[in-house]
Amino acid sequence: MPAKAAFYDVDGTLVKTNVVHVYAYYAMNRGSILGMAGRTLSTVASLPLFGVLDSFNRKVFNEFFYRYYEGLSEDRLLTVAEDMFEDVLKPALYEQSKDLIAEARRSGCRIVLVTGALDFAMRPLARYLGADELIANKMQFVGGNATGKVIPPIIEGANKANAIRDYCAKEGLSLAHCHGYSDSSSDYAMLAIVGRPTAVNPDMRLRSIARAYNWPILDLK
Amino acid sequence: MRPIKTLQKLYDEESQVVITEKGSPPRALFSGENFLLEDLPVGTRVIFPRPPMEGVPNVKAAIRWAINHPEGMDPLHALLRPGMKLTCVIDDISVPLPPMVTPDVRQSILEVVLELAADSGVDDVHLLIANALHRRMTEGEMRRMVGTKIFDAYYPDRYYNHDAEDPDGIVELERTAHNEVVAVNRRVAESDLIVYVNVNFVPMNGGHKSMGTGVTNYASLRAHHNPKTIRDSDSYMEPKASALYKSNSRIGTVIDKHLKVFHIETTLNNRMFGGPTDFLAKKEEDYTEADRLKFQALRFTLGKIPRAAARKVLNAIPAPYDVTGVFAGATEPVHVKTLEMSWKQYSVPVQGQSDIVIFPIPFISPYSVNSILNPLLVQVMGLGYFFNLNRGIPLVKKGGVLILLHPAYDEFDPEHHPSYIEFFNRILPETRDSMKLEHKYEREFAENPSYVHLYRKGNAYHGVHPFYMWYWGENGRQHVGKVIVAGAENNHVPALLGWDRTDTLTEAIEEARGFMGRSATISLLRIAPTLLADVKL
């Protein structure tokens, strides 16, 4: 059997939360009371806008969203990432996520997380799940502070598929034997290029796509 | 239907084989969730099931007698001691078909065994469903099988489904002389005593197969669930002609060497229909006016309501089987008695094979309880089970034609049969060759993490199961010259399965005669209830 990998989207697929919660956590941990209050309020005020943008275009959403990191120091972000994993991500993990990953590993798959979230925020999770590789967005830092810009290409939609294709080419994996897992129809491209796509807790659109193409549908709890 | 008074003399009431005469009544035949009413050509041999045997008058007393007078082992009470680990392993919902009216015989056995265990100071008792790679039974099904009292006392911690994919849940005992893996559930391996609670529906069930396939894993099942073993088995129902049975015996012998297994096997009669549907078990010649009306009403209703509703109606009718025998003790001597009783109920002597054989396919199979009989399961019913319902030689001649009655609809249950969908739509268009399927795709499906997950956490058949279903039809495929599915409602399902299709049975018979010659002999297996053709040349 050729070498293969299982690619997992993170938000909504392995964990119940999404990038908005992660950002909210950073905002809450701004350091000063005033800063915390200010960030929290502006985040809360922006939530409806995030929602609209997310449903409209994930790419625009991500670009818009990451600007909120501007000015935060790298050290601070890394420290908070560890806390954020313990406080936000770990409790939000679906109970069956680890089993799903263990089953993929038993069948000989490499484990790769593919997420639109930022790499430093996802690294503790990747370590916890024993992932072999993390494909995530990278924040640009200048002088130790985040610029609020993400180093292109932004990992979302079709770019997730490209990143997976490149990874398979680089590692000599058979794309046709690889597995893909996602909850969102915005990841259709990523699911469509792997030989074994699976919809996990899918949104309505992905559920109908999965039914049309006879992809397995998993409901993680 | 025609009046039949004048026809009474034309057949022997005792005989299970009726030769169709001019003026014989049309036959009421299952075709999925509905019935066909068909006139058969003169000279067609219709083979009916035997009437149901008398059941034991008191089931609990029969169970008590059997466990106190076991074959080749000490009585059960002598095997129990305080502080021991006892596991009762139970056959899953795939038998009997349809599920029996409550109390299920498994409940009756457990009520006796658990009481005895409690009286003997045995507290560490687990109830394990031997579902192998079948789907996990749902909570409701588990409750129905053992009754509320036992369910409430044991579920979910001490009454659960076997998990063939639990990485820590399987223990490999050793290998047989043929290098077959012998692996069993960890709880079973660590028990001081195992009581196997069996329901024997056809002679293929029971014996070494119970433990050998019920509580093991894919690695062990691969030893005999493969195309080669199936091809080497002349009959599934007759142990001495079955390579499958022999492989299970080798595995079972190793299990018996390592573990103490006390089998309790039960046989049922074939009273599949009761109450308002009891006429379905009669010969059409014996139908009363009331029976005809009931049949027409049932057929009309099932034809008018949506198929899913028809399925629900039919699945909701349990069968009033009677228990005809209870046998307990060591695997082999117990199973000999079970087989004897089984043949007594099901065997119908038939003289000679036929060129054309007709199988009406009903709505149910061992793998579609409370679900849909998808195209692969239609295939396994026709070419796997019905083709093999015989002793020695098949009812149809080598190179003959099988006619299956079923709508052959393209419907799958994504909850119970997710990997079947991919097998049917992706793999079958590429090849129908079992050997190629086994070598190229079987492992991929078996190890697919999504299917493993759906098997372990949902109620899905294991990813590899559609392959087993395809292999199961291997003997039939190798034997027959042509398969025609009469009444198929589309072209692509029969085409993917490699079959011809016709709209009606009459057209199918015409086509079969075109293939086999005008003088071709025809037999119809009037099933259900269950019967086994004992074909003599």
The Cα-based distances of B175 to B77, B211, B233, B264, B462 in angstroms read: 32, 15, 22, 26, 24
- For residue B75, whether the previous peptide bond is cis, meaning omega lies within 30 degrees of 0, is no
- Among chain B residues, the shortest Cα distance to A105 is held by B449
> What CATH number corresponds to the domain at position B292?
3.90.226.30
Gap between the Cα atoms of A90 and B113, Å rounded: 45
Chain A within 8 Å of B454 (Cβ-Cβ)? Answer: yes
Contact list in B for residue A1 (CB cut-off 8 A) is: 443-444
pLDDT at B344: 94
Q: Are residues B219 and B293 in the same domain?
A: no
Q: Are residues B219 and B292 in the same domain?
A: no
Whether B505 is covered by a domain: the verdict is: yes
Average pLDDT over residues A20-24: 60
Whether B196 is covered by a domain: the verdict is: yes
- For residue B451, give the nearest of A99, A211, A216 by CB distance: A216
Where does a domain end: B212, B235, B268? B268
Whether B322 is covered by a domain: the verdict is: no
Where does a domain end: B215, B235, B268? B268
Whether B323 is covered by a domain: the verdict is: no
pLDDT at A8: 97
* A216·B454 Cβ contact <8 A: yes
Indicate the DSSP class of residue B481: S
Gap between the Cα atoms of B397 and A142, Å rounded: 83
Chain A within 8 Å of B163 (Cβ-Cβ)? Answer: no
Q: How far apart are the first and last CA of chain A?
A: 31
Q: Are residues B135 and B33 in the same domain?
A: no
pLDDT in tens, A163-194: 999 999 999 999 999 999 999 999 999 999 99
pLDDT at A37: 53
Indicate the DSSP class of residue B359: E
Chain B within 8 Å of A106 (Cβ-Cβ)? Answer: yes
* B449·A109 Cβ contact <8 A: yes
Range of the domain at B422: 4-51+283-310+346-536
Contact list in A for residue B164 (CB cut-off 8 A) is: none
Q: Is A51 helix (H, G, I), strand (E, B) or coil?
A: helix
Where does a domain end: B268, B296, B327? B268
Contact list in B for residue A214 (CB cut-off 8 A) is: 421-422, 425-426
Strand pairing category for B354-360 and B522-525: parallel
Gap between the Cα atoms of B93 and B365, Å rounded: 11
SS3 sequence of B379-415: HHHHHHHHHHCEECCCCEEEEEEEEEECCCCCCCCCC
- For residue B529, whether the previous peptide bond is cis, meaning omega lies within 30 degrees of 0, is yes
Helix axes A119-129, A74-84, angle to 10 degrees: 40
Q: Which residues contact residue B71 at a Cβ distance below 8 angstroms, ignoring those fewer than 6 apart? A: B327, B328, B329, B330, B333, B334, B337
> What CATH number corresponds to the domain at position B96?
3.40.50.11440
Q: Which two three-digit tokens encode residue B156? A: 């979910």
Q: Which residues of chain B have pLDDT under 50?
A: 9-13
Q: Are residues B389 and B262 in the same domain?
A: no
Closest Cα partner for B483 from B408, B377, B402? B402
Whether B329 is covered by a domain: the verdict is: no
Q: How confident is the model at residue A38 (pLDDT cuts 50, 70, 90)?
A: low
Contact list in B for residue A13 (CB cut-off 8 A) is: none
Q: Are residues B396 and B458 in the same domain?
A: yes
Gap between the Cα atoms of B522 and B407, Å rounded: 21
Exposed / middle / buried, residue B491 (Cβ in 10 Å: 0-12, 13-18, 19+): exposed
Q: Is B490 helix (H, G, I), strand (E, B) or coil?
A: coil
Chain A within 8 Å of B415 (Cβ-Cβ)? Answer: no
Closest Cα partner for B317 from B277, B361, B346? B277
Q: How confident is the model at residue A46 (pLDDT cuts 50, 70, 90)?
A: low
Strand pairing category for A145-151 and B396-405: unpaired
Q: Are residues B367 and B245 in the same domain?
A: no
- For residue B453, give the nearest of A99, A177, A196 by CB distance: A99
Q: Are residues B297 and B253 in the same domain?
A: no
Strand pairing category for B323-329 and B261-268: antiparallel
Contact list in A for residue B418 (CB cut-off 8 A) is: 216-217
Query: Is residue A61 predicted with pLDDT exceeding 70?
Result: no
Sheet with A179-182, side-by-side order of all strands: A145-151, A133-142, A109-118, A4-8, A179-182, A196-200, A217-218
pLDDT at A63: 61
Q: How confident is the model at residue A33 (pLDDT cuts 50, 70, 90)?
A: very low
**B464 Cα to chain A: minimum distance (Å):** 14
Whether B438 is covered by a domain: the verdict is: yes
Whether B86 is covered by a domain: the verdict is: yes
Question: Tokens 């022997």 correspond to what residue?
Answer: B12
Gap between the Cα atoms of B457 and A163, Å rounded: 31
Mean pLDDT of chain A: 83
Query: How many helices (H) and strands (E) are present in chain B, helices listed first?
Result: 22, 20
- For residue A6, give the nearest of B167, B421, B449 by CB distance: B449
Asked if A129 and A113 touch (Cβ cutoff 8 Å), the reply is: yes
* A1·B452 Cβ contact <8 A: no
Q: Are residues B236 and B366 in the same domain?
A: no
Provide the sign of the torsion angle of the four alpha carbons B343, B348, B350, B356, taken in this order: negative
- For residue B450, give the nearest of A106, A108, A179 by CB distance: A179
Mean pLDDT of chain B: 94
For chain A, which domains are there?
Answer: 4-218 (3.40.50.1000)
Provide the sign of the torsion angle of the four alpha carbons A75, A77, A80, A82, taken in this order: negative
Top residue of A106, A107, A109, A213 to mutate, by most chain B CBs within 10 Å, is A107
pLDDT in tens, B278-316: 999 999 999 999 999 999 999 999 999 999 999 999 999
Which string of b and e fits B277-286 if b means at least 16 CB within 10 Å?
Answer: eebbbbbbbe
Closest Cα partner for B225 from B215, B213, B208, B234? B213
pLDDT at B449: 96
Top residue of A96, A109, A111, A218 to mutate, by most chain B CBs within 10 Å, is A218
Q: Are residues B46 and B64 in the same domain?
A: no
pLDDT in tens, A122-174: 999 999 999 999 999 998 889 888 888 888 888 888 899 999 999 999 999 99
- For residue A198, give the nearest of B425, B443, B450 by CB distance: B450
Contact list in B for residue A181 (CB cut-off 8 A) is: 450
pLDDT in tens, B369-425: 999 999 999 999 999 999 999 987 999 999 999 999 999 999 999 999 999 999 999
Gap between the Cα atoms of B30 and B510, Å rounded: 20
Closest Cα partner for B527 from B379, B389, B403? B389
Closest Cα partner for B459 from A197, A199, A218? A218
Please give the single-letter amino acid code of residue B398: K
Chain A within 8 Å of B418 (Cβ-Cβ)? Answer: yes
Gap between the Cα atoms of B480 and B470, Å rounded: 15
Chain B within 8 Å of A218 (Cβ-Cβ)? Answer: yes
Question: Tokens 């001597």 correspond to what residue?
Answer: B333
- For residue B156, whether the previous peptide bond is cis, meaning omega lies within 30 degrees of 0, is yes
* B448·A177 Cβ contact <8 A: no
**B421 Cα to chain A: minimum distance (Å):** 7
Top residue of B442, B450, B465, B496 to mutate, by most chain A CBs within 10 Å, is B450
Sheet with B532-536, side-by-side order of all strands: B347-351, B532-536, B390-391
Whether B240 is covered by a domain: the verdict is: yes
Q: Are residues B366 and B294 in the same domain?
A: yes
- For residue B276, whether the previous peptide bond is cis, meaning omega lies within 30 degrees of 0, is no
Q: Are residues B298 and B195 in the same domain?
A: no
Count of C-beta atoms within a 10 Å radius of residue B257: 10
Q: Which two three-digit tokens encode residue B198? A: 């069996």
Query: Is residue A21 predicted with pLDDT exceeding 70?
Result: no
The Cα-based distances of A98 to A113, B53, B315, B514, B528 in angstroms read: 13, 53, 37, 59, 46
| Total of domains in chain B | 2
Q: Are residues B260 and B291 in the same domain?
A: no
Chain B within 8 Å of A208 (Cβ-Cβ)? Answer: no
* B448·A99 Cβ contact <8 A: no
Contact list in B for residue A196 (CB cut-off 8 A) is: 448, 450
Could you tell me which residues are beta bridge partners of residue A134? A113
Gap between the Cα atoms of B498 and B514, Å rounded: 18
Asked if A149 and A179 touch (Cβ cutoff 8 Å), the reply is: no
Closest Cα partner for A13 from A164, A105, A149, A116? A116
- A24 torsion bin: left (phi>0), alpha (psi -120 to 50), beta (else): alpha
Provide the sign of the torsion angle of the four alpha carbons A13, A14, A17, A23, taken in this order: negative
Please give the single-letter amino acid code of residue B50: R
